[in-house]
Amino acid sequence: MSPSRGTIFLEQARVLSQLAYDAEQFVLRLAAPKCAAHAEPGSFVHLTCDGSIPMRRPLSIMRAHPGNGWIELLYKVVGAGLHALSARKAGDELSVLGPIGRPFVPHVERPRTLLLGGGVGIPPMVFLAERLGAHARDAGRADVNRASIQSWKPLVLMGSEVPFPFRARPSKIILPGMPAGTLACMPLLEEWGIPSRLASCHEYPGCYAGFVTELADAWLASLGSSELAEVEIFSCGPTPMLEASAVLARRYRVPCQVSLEEFMACAVGGCAGCTVRVLTPDGPAMKRVCVDGPVFDAYTVF
Ligand SMILES: Cc1cc2nc3c(=O)[nH]c(=O)nc-3n(C[C@H](O)[C@H](O)[C@H](O)COP(=O)(O)OP(=O)(O)OC[C@H]3O[C@@H](n4cnc5c(N)ncnc54)[C@H](O)[C@@H]3O)c2cc1C
Ligand code: FES
């Protein structure tokens, strides 16, 4: 995965499907071939929701299929913009700017990737898991040079305080270090052979009753020092969850990348409306979340 922010394309994207889930959550699939070809886990699009809504809205890319030219987004309606987007039907067209932003960059020396997604922070984690899982599957094939392919061991933990935007089911993948009864998983990840577990303070069946970072803490505490030396954390979700992820990372002395959210006007680096304070080797500096991020080293932000 490339650390560079890459080229941003402007495409007239066609709606292929729009599926509705509980709590005004939607999964939108768009035909956007240029964006699909260049999207990376952590990158996002800035799209027009409807002709009646003047400003674009930023949404993370959850999946991208370069071969078939589609991208998938998961969003939860907040206000007028995403409400208008939820009314778009298959065949409608909307303007998409993307892919935007610096993606997550996993490190080969840390194959135990711990992916934490909270609420609408889930999408980039599904994307990252899919890409890491594909590498791991390639490593198992006889016809490829295994030495050149990293075998990742992703674990995805997700938290939500509204029903998850998929039908959770008990996992068949055994996962040491999980609290008793924490069995619910995301079926799509399970199909890809990637372990996942769910957390919610709402005590949904099979979910860990508490925050996703507490579940992560339980898993990290179960690891030995040589296993911990292979862990890297990737986190996307509300700011308190990102802060808790950074605290965990510090406690277990593992690296951590977080994806930040800020209000965005242009989303292409021109208006400086999305800046955050980041620690750089030259001291504190203001960085634009849209193009210098949205992914940052957690230790430089928190
Ligand atoms: C990089 C990035 C990725 C995101 N990915 C997702 C995602 O995958 N799924 C998802 O559901 N949401 C995501 N969001 C949040 C989403 O952009 C906002 O919830 C959305 O813009 C709200 O628009 P609205 O019209 O429904 O709400 P309104 O409240 O009517 O929006 C009013 C204005 O505020 C801005 N705004 C409101 N909330 C946010 C916010 N949290 N972040 C940035 N701008 C905001 C809108 O762009 C708009 O200009 C992401 C935000 C960022 C910055
Ligand atoms: S939103 Fe304009 S610089 Fe980031």
What SS3 class is residue 147?
Answer: helix
Task: Tell me how far apart the alpha carbons of residues 233 and 253 are, in angstroms, rounded to a whole number.
Answer: 11
Q: What is the pLDDT of residue 146?
A: 55
CA of 270, nearest ligand number: 2
Q: Per-residue pLDDT tens for 179-199? A: 999 999 999 999 999 999 999
| pTM of the predicted model as reported, rounded to 2 decimal places | 0.94
Which ligand is closest to the CA of 119, given by its number? 1
- Hey, what are 80's tokens? 């007028």
Ligand 1 atom closest to Cα of residue 77: 26
Q: What is the DSSP letter of 4?
A: S
Pocket test for ligand 1, best of 57, 63, 71, 128 (most atoms within 8 A of CB): 57
Cα 147 to ligand 1 centroid, rounded to whole Å = 42
Distance (Å) from CA 58 to ligand 1 centroid: 6
Task: Give 143's pLDDT tier (boundaries 50, 70, 90).
Answer: low
The residue-averaged pLDDT of 112-135 equals 95
Residue 134 pLDDT level (bands cut at 50, 70, 90)? confident
The per-residue DSSP string of 66-105 comes to TTTTEEEEEEE--SHHHHHHTT--TT-EEEEEEEESB---
Ligand 2 pocket test, pick from 55, 274, 292 with the greatest ligand atom count within 8 Å of Cβ, gives 274
Which pLDDT belongs to residue 60? Answer: 98
User: What are the boundaries of each domain within the chain?
Assistant: 5-100, 112-259
pLDDT at residue 203, as a whole number? 84
Ligand 2 mean position, distance from CA 239 (Å):
19
> Residue 280 — pLDDT band, cuts 50, 70, 90?
very high
Share of the chain above pLDDT 90, in %: 90
pLDDT for 141 equals: 60
Contacts 24+ apart (CB under 8 A), 262-266: 262/289, 262/290, 264/46, 264/58, 264/289, 264/290, 265/55, 266/290
CATH number of 112-259: 3.40.50.80
Strand 112-118 to 231-236 pairing: parallel
CA distance 17 to 31: 10
Strands 9-21 and 93-100 turn out to be antiparallel
Quick one: tokens of 167? 């039908």
In whole angstroms, what is the distance from residue 61 CA to residue 273 CA? 22
Predicted confidence (pLDDT) at residue 135 exceeds the cutoff of 90: no
The confidence band for 2, taking pLDDT boundaries of 50, 70 and 90, is: low
CA–CA distance, 265 with 195 (Å, rounded to integer): 37
Confidence at 1, pLDDT banded by 50, 70, 90: low
Report whether 179 contacts 218 (CB < 8 A).
yes
Arithmetic mean of pLDDT over the chain:
94
CATH class belonging to 5-100? mainly beta
β-strands 70-76, 169-170 pairing: unpaired
- What pLDDT score was predicted for residue 151? 86
Instruction: Please give the torsion angle defined by the CA atoms of residues 67, 16, 45 and 37, in that order, rounded to the nearest 10 degrees.
Output: 10
Which residues' Cβ are closer than 6 Å to ligand 2?
264-267, 269-274, 288, 290
Between the CA of 292 and the centroid of ligand 2 the distance, in Å, is: 10
